[in-house]
Amino acid sequence: MISDLFCPLQIRDVRLKNRIVLSPMLTYAATDGWVNDWHFMHLGKYAAGGCGLVFMESTKVDPRGCTTPADLALWDDRYIEPMIRITEFIKAHNAVPGIQLSHSGRKARQSRPWEGRGPLPADTSLPGGGDWDLVGPSPIPHDAQHGTPRELKRDEIAGLAQAWAQAADRARRAGFEAVEIHGAHGYLIHEFLSPVANQRTDEYGGSLENRMRFAIEVAAATRKAWPEGKPLFFRISAVDGAGWEIEHSVELTRRLSAVGVDVIDCSTGGVANYTHVATSPDIGYGYQVPHAERIRAETGVMTMAVGHIIHADQADGIVRSGQADLVAIGREMLHNPNWPIDAAQKLGIEPGFAHVPDAYGYWLEKRARSRFPGRPSTWQRGIDARD
């Protein structure tokens, strides 16, 4: 059977073996910004489980931008080498390693979710040491419980755009093949886009044109620093419930595409509410997919859909119908790290186990043949095709 979900996708010079993406998910497991064995285990199992693209979680371009003291860092060269072990493992299992680069802005300096996700005291030390200066586009706190950020100066804004560019270059040296700029969920770039969080009166505030300026500058600087042949993703909150609407996202997508962004990752929320993660029982499967579909249809730019994508036929239908080019799966992948293997069997993909490591594929195929005597070895056909 032919499945659109398992069709390869070429983005610039990078080829994904399928359309299944591990969504970048914060695990809050770093110490002073460093990756460790947790991250190796966490990301490696999704490469072995059959994902085409495996994103490392939100990794900070500036120490002030850490959501918690346990965030990952890429604001200094010293963080590069430990990441190489992870990217090499992902590549060795025929998956593409990606990394999301971010700054949390006024939503920085918090405790981890299972510790209450509350604001930390102003005298808390940054990961790696130093004073934790809370910054944002305007001196407006996220809510009454959070600290008031210091308004960024114009020269600081330019410096932050370069911080993304420098982090992207470090990502290249660490072996990553895709970069995603996090411009959603009420974090710094989204704060500049938002008429609620951004009340500046200079060229970075006021009109839609001005509020988009920082996002476009970050994307342009990152594209310049990132190899021409490697894809650049940009995550947006397509709608946020606080003045940013889908029409604005369509316009932003056109501007981002013009400076070299290849894929728009379509999420929602994060400004009006504390969290972007939907918890209402009224929200169904794929509730954010229509945003990816509209942006793709109106701009011609590739999109990635995310949000309650659970089932194999659901994910395949999203790609087959042209609603999105990629599906990003997060919490369902936490539940089942071998989701792509399971999806391939449910969709009847042939050869059945050739897209996963031989140490898995051989035994899974053997078990399948024992249950269905006389079945030809689809695993071997896949190995022959690779050779």
Which residues sit opposite 56 in a β-bridge?
99
Residue 213 vs residues 180, 224, 267, 372: alpha-carbon distances, Å: 18, 16, 20, 60
Structure-token pair, residue 71: 């965030």
Which residues sit opposite 235 in a β-bridge?
182, 265
Residue 161 vs residues 179, 336, 341: alpha-carbon distances, Å: 15, 37, 39
What amino acid occupies position 191?
Answer: E
Which residues sit opposite 226 in a β-bridge?
none
Where do we find the tokens 């969290």?
275
In angstroms, rounded to a whole number, what is the distance separating the alpha carbons of residues 43 and 23? 11
- The DSSP result for 317-353, as a single string, is HHHHTTS-SEEEE-HHHHH-TTHHHHHHHHTT-SSTT
Q: Are 272 and 241 within 8 A, CB to CB? A: yes
In angstroms, rounded to a whole number, what is the distance separating the alpha carbons of residues 37 and 339? 22
In angstroms, rounded to a whole number, what is the distance separating the alpha carbons of residues 364 and 340? 14
Residues 6+ apart with CB under 8 A from 57: 24, 25, 26, 27, 72, 100
In angstroms, rounded to a whole number, what is the distance separating the alpha carbons of residues 19 and 172? 22
Q: 187 an active-site residue? A: yes
Where do we find the tokens 């609603």?
323
Q: Cα torsion at 360, 362, 365, 370 (round to 10°)? A: -120
Q: Are 259 and 216 within 8 A, CB to CB? A: yes
In angstroms, rounded to a whole number, what is the distance separating the alpha carbons of residues 193 and 296? 20
Radius of gyration of the chain from Cα atoms? 21
Distance, first Cα to last Cα, the chain: 21
Q: Looking at 187, 285, 287, 362, which residue is catalytic? A: 187
**Hey, which residues are catalytic here?**
187
